Amino acid sequence: MLISRKKPQKNKLYDDYWHFATSRQDVFLRRLHNPLGPWTSDRVLNEYRFTNVFRALDRVTQYLIGVQAEQQSNREIFFNTILFKLFNKIDTYRYLERALGPLRAESFDVARYDELLSYRMSTGHAIYSGAYIMPSAGRVYGHKWKHTNHLALLAQMLDEKLDERVSACSTMKEVYDLLLSYPSLGKFLAFQYTIDLNYSSLINFSEMDFVVAGPGAINGIHKCFSSLGDYSYEDVIRLMAEEQEAECARLGLTPPRLCGRPLQLIDCQNLFCEVDKYLRATHPEAVSAGGQKRIKQRFTASTEPLTYSFPLKWGIDQSNNALWNQPAIDDIFL
């Protein structure tokens, strides 16, 4: 006998998830056609920084996809992906390239990389992105500086041939479990790195296969639902992905698309995190579980031009035309 699960109970802020998703995607599309703006009349979207609705469109992810495409072997794909993501900062990766030339697993030397990164820090440059907090792994590797411990972590991964073990995995969750077994990689980072590796030719899984709810997403879920019923956080994320068409139609919205590609689990997960931040400004009475009351990062438009490319396995036109030819957006801002 099948017993139906008790579904989550939506609250008054639930619809804000879909309004935010469509408005943020509209801002992205307007910027493609009009780099100078204005792009929206929404004060919060204008004033604060929010990631793109589709994770693959973010500047850092786009840079990573380009890095991966240049690699000649699975081992180099793995090495460059993890090296890049440990710091998650384009300037740091470029700095290492300028100093060392092509970054290769076979010539990776912890002491040399440590020397370079220590020097960069001493000159007042941040070597880590502020997007999320990286645990130091100092208890395991015992080094004074966080970056030295992370280089030791990468060396351990290479020594243990994690690239080969990852490429042999038959599910996305297997990749996640492997990464989760390493020091300082908690659930959030292990899942994010799994998605990053999955952009490359090293592995090939659907982004609808598996998801892990991060702390920000959990905060967003609690703001949009009064009760989860019998659903886990991951179940709720999947529910959003499965019902995106119906929910947008109910609200008279156009569902976000990436060249025809609908929101994937990772996108819906990230959206909950961004909606949590958005609601801090629009509904400050809905306090996050972690107590956050403000949005930390203000929006500053990048002056560096960006061309968009995507994993070949997605079957998306690799030229900009696929993005520039999106349906026209109404000039009347939402």
Residues 164 and 97 in one domain: yes
Residue 126 lies in a domain: yes
Question: Cβ distance 162 to 78 under 8 Å?
Answer: yes
**Which of 144, 174, 198 finishes a domain?**
198
Going through the chain in order, the beta strands assigned E by DSSP cover 9-10, 225-227
Residue 228 lies in a domain: yes
Residues 241 and 304 in one domain: yes
Residue 268 lies in a domain: yes
Query: How far is CA 251 from its chain centroid?
Result: 27
Residue 224 lies in a domain: yes
Residue 61 lies in a domain: no
Question: Cβ distance 140 to 149 under 8 Å?
Answer: yes
Residues 224 and 298 in one domain: yes
| C-alpha–C-alpha distance, residues 204 and 312, integer Å | 11
Number of Cα atoms under 13 Å in the Cβ half of residue 125: 15
- pLDDT at position 317 is 74
**pLDDT tens, 129-161?**
987 778 888 889 999 999 999 999 999 999 999
- pLDDT at position 303 is 65
Residues 263 and 215 in one domain: yes
* DSSP H/E element including 321: helix 321-324
Q: Which amino acid is at 318?
A: Q
Question: Cβ distance 130 to 298 under 8 Å?
Answer: no
Residues 41 and 142 in one domain: no
Residues 193 and 219 in one domain: no
- pLDDT at position 332 is 33
| C-alpha–C-alpha distance, residues 20 and 53, integer Å | 9
Residues 90 and 181 in one domain: yes
Residues 86 and 184 in one domain: yes
**Which of 198, 223, 252 finishes a domain?**
198
Residue 4 lies in a domain: no
- pLDDT at position 265 is 98
What's the N-to-C CA distance of the chain in angstroms? 47
- pLDDT at position 307 is 81
**Which of 198, 219, 236 finishes a domain?**
198
Residues 187 and 253 in one domain: no
Residues 90 and 145 in one domain: yes
Residue 66 lies in a domain: no
Residues 214 and 270 in one domain: yes
- pLDDT at position 40 is 86
Residues 130 and 99 in one domain: yes
Number of domains in the chain: 2
| C-alpha–C-alpha distance, residues 178 and 158, integer Å | 13
Question: Cβ distance 54 to 263 under 8 Å?
Answer: yes
Residue 283 lies in a domain: yes
- pLDDT at position 330 is 42
Question: Cβ distance 9 to 242 under 8 Å?
Answer: no
Q: Which domain holds residue 183?
A: 72-198
Q: CA 166, 170, 176, 181 torsion: positive or negative?
A: negative
- pLDDT at position 4 is 83
- pLDDT at position 241 is 98
Q: Which amino acid is at 293?
A: K
Q: What is the pLDDT along the chain (334 residues), one digit of tens a residue?
A: 456 889 999 999 999 999 999 999 999 999 888 877 788 889 999 899 899 999 999 999 999 999 999 999 999 999 999 999 999 999 999 999 999 999 999 999 999 999 999 999 999 999 999 877 788 888 899 999 999 999 999 999 999 999 999 999 999 999 999 999 999 999 999 999 999 999 999 999 999 999 999 999 999 999 999 999 999 999 999 999 999 999 999 999 999 999 999 999 999 999 999 999 999 999 988 776 666 766 676 767 666 767 899 999 999 876 655 565 555 444 333 3
**pLDDT tens, 21-56?**
999 999 999 988 887 778 888 999 989 989 999 999
Number of H helices, E strands in the chain: 16, 2
